[in-house]
Amino acid sequence: MSKMMRITDKTAEDLDLLAKELKKSKAYLLEKAVAKLNREIFLKQAALESKRFRKNSQAWKEEIDERKLLDNSLMDGLDEY
């Protein structure tokens, strides 16, 4: 389903130039730009949550201990196959 929206003249000009230069549709470029912004927001939020998690010393110690246990699972003999 397509929807219409208003954008500034500058954004429309930039979008036209990008579409011509990259030989892609304006809809495709907008879709990719929104996806990229969503990824950036997700990664920033993940980094913030990770930082908060590391500040909880007990939870972080448990995480490190669990990682150490999982490291041993890499030596499961699959290299033989």
CB 26 within 8 A of CB 32: no
* pLDDT at res. 56: 93
* pLDDT at res. 26: 95
The span from the CA of 29 to the CA of 23, in Å, is: 10
Q: Is residue 4 part of a domain?
A: no
Give pLDDT tens digits along the chain (81 positions): 788 999 999 999 999 999 999 999 999 999 999 999 999 999 999 999 999 999 999 999 999 999 888 877 766 666 665
* pLDDT at res. 40: 98
Q: Is residue 58 part of a domain?
A: yes
* pLDDT at res. 18: 97
Q: Is residue 1 part of a domain?
A: no
Range of the domain at 19: 9-75
Would you state the torsion angle of the CA atoms of residues 10, 11, 13, 17, taken in this order, to the nearest 10 degrees? 140
Q: Is residue 38 part of a domain?
A: yes
**How many structural domains compose the chain?**
1
